[in-house]
Amino acid sequence: MTTLSATIQEVFNEPACGKNAAKSEKERKKGCTKQLQPGGAAGGCAFDGAKIALQPLTDVAHLVHGPIACEGNSWDNRGAKSSGPSLWRTGFTTDINETDIVFGGEKRLYKAIREIIEKYDPPAVFVYQTCIPAMTGDDINAVAKAASAKFGKPVIPINAPGFVGPKNLGNKLAGEALLDHVIGTVEPDYTTPYDINIIGEYNLSGELWQVKPLLDALGIRVLSCISGDGRYREVAQSHRAKAAMMVCSKAMINVARKMEERYGIPFFEGSFYGIGDTSDSLREIARLLVSRGAPAELLDRTEALIAREEAKAWASIAPFKPRFAGKRVLLITGGVKSWSVVAALQEAGLEIAGTSVKKSTKEDKERIKELMGEDAHMIEDMTPREMYRMLKDAKADIMLSGGRSQFVALKAAMPWLDINQERHHAYMGYVGMVDLLREIAKTLFNPVWEQVRRPAPWDDPADNWQARALAEVVAPQLAAE
Q: Which residues within the stretch 441-480 sit at the binding site for another protein (CB under 8 A)?
A: 464-465, 468-469
- Residue from 3, 25, 26, 40 touching another protein (CB under 8 A): that is 40
- Characterize 132-152 residue by residue with b for buried, 16 or more Cβ atoms within 10 angstroms of its Cβ, and e for exposed: bbbeeebbbbebbeebbeebe
Min dist. Cβ of residue 452 to another protein (A): 8
Closer to another protein by CB, 94 or 254: give it: 94
Q: Which of 56, 79, 154, 166 binds another protein (CB under 8 A)?
A: 166
> What distance in Å separates the CA atoms of residue 403 and residue 106, rounded to the nearest whole number?
37
Task: Give how far Cα 168 sits from Cα of 17, 162, 403, Å.
Answer: 14, 11, 18
> Can residue 98 be called a binding residue for another protein (CB under 8 A)?
yes
**In 40-194, beta strands by DSSP E:** 61-65, 92-93, 125-129, 155-158
Nearer to another protein, 216 or 381 (CB): 381
One of 262, 362, 404, 454 touching another protein (CB under 8 A): 404
Which of the residues 328 through 387 are near another protein (CB under 8 A)? 383-385
Helix (H), strand (E) at residue 351: strand 351-356
44, 85, 184, 266: which one binds another protein (CB under 8 A) = 44
* 406-445 positions binding another protein, by CB under 8 A: 407-408, 411, 422
Specify the stretch interacting with another protein by CB under 8 A; choose among 105-113, 142-150, 201-209, 320-328: 105-113
Q: Is the peptide bond before 227 cis (omega within 30 degrees of 0)?
A: yes
First-residue to last-residue Cα distance in the chain: 58
Taking CB under 8 A as the criterion, the residue among 57, 131, 376, 431 binding another protein is: 131
Q: What is the dihedral of CA 456, 457, 463, 467, to 10 degrees?
A: 50
Ramachandran angles phi, psi of 81, nearest 5°: -125, 155
Q: Binding string, 10-39, against another protein, x = CB under 8 A?
A: --------------------------xxxx
Size of the site for another protein (CB under 8 A): 74
Question: According to CB under 8 A, which one of 43, 85, 123, 184 is a site residue for another protein?
Answer: 43
User: Least distance to another protein from the beta carbon of 371, Å?
Assistant: 30
Are 54 and 176 spatial neighbours (Cβ–Cβ below 8 Å)?
Answer: no
- For position 153 contacting another protein by CB under 8 A, the verdict is no
